[in-house]
Amino acid sequence: MGGGARATYRGFLDRRRADRPQVEYREPTEQEWQDFQQHFELRKVSLGTCGRPYGTPCKHEHACIRCPVLQLDPQQRPRLNEITRNLRERITEARGNGWLGEVEGLQVSLNAAVAKLTRLNRTSTDGRPQLVDLGMPPFTDPSVRGVGAPGGIGRTALTHQEPRSAR
């Protein structure tokens, strides 16, 4: 961050703090600090890390496979594969026994597990997302970006036009 940006940001913080009650800037108690640390310790789950914000309860009742804020650990891919395989077996068993309510709940979990596997498969082994080919044509000539040009948005959309009433 450059010196000007840093000074602007510090000024913003100072103004914001001046508007807030001073009690918000006190030192946390030992109990508050322990609660804060425990929140982050409790975020560690078998498939990765729970991404829910501090101080919020788990609204998915710890059904992490269904939770959109679960941050998967790529090392847990074999475990996720096993969970998916197990869910499929349990769905087959539930259908065979006529447990349609069970089938529905298991199917929600299976869909979530498959979506997580798909997302994980789009991630490289070092944890960074891989590039995805969107099928967009490359820009070969930067001067050609008019209407009909590959990837162009049209020059007319970028030029200033007077309102009809002013003409």
Number of domains in the chain: 1
In a domain, 65, yes or no: yes
pLDDT tens-digit map of 8-56: 888 888 888 888 887 777 778 899 888 888 888 888 888 988 888 877 8
In a domain, 160, yes or no: no
What are the CA-CA distances from residue 82 to residues 5, 78, 148 (Å)? Answer: 49, 6, 49
In a domain, 100, yes or no: yes
| Structural domain boundaries, residue 96 | 15-127
In a domain, 150, yes or no: no
pLDDT tens-digit map of 102-139: 999 999 999 999 999 998 888 755 656 566 566 766 66
In a domain, 132, yes or no: no
What are the CA-CA distances from residue 127 to residues 72, 92, 116, 123, 157 (Å)? Answer: 10, 34, 14, 6, 39
Q: What is the DSSP-derived secondary structure letter of residue 27?
A: P
Instruction: State whether residue 71 is helix, strand or coil.
Output: strand
Q: Provide the pLDDT confidence category of residue 76 given band limits of 50, 70 and 90.
A: very high
In a domain, 159, yes or no: no
Compare 6 and 93 and report the one with higher pLDDT. Answer: 93
Mean pLDDT (whole number) for 82-111: 95
Q: What is the distance between the alpha carbons of residues 141 and 156, in angstroms, rounded to a whole number?
A: 19
In a domain, 133, yes or no: no
In a domain, 134, yes or no: no
What are the CA-CA distances from residue 16 to residues 2, 5, 155 (Å)? Answer: 21, 16, 43
Closest Cα partner for 38 from 26, 63, 55, 58?
55
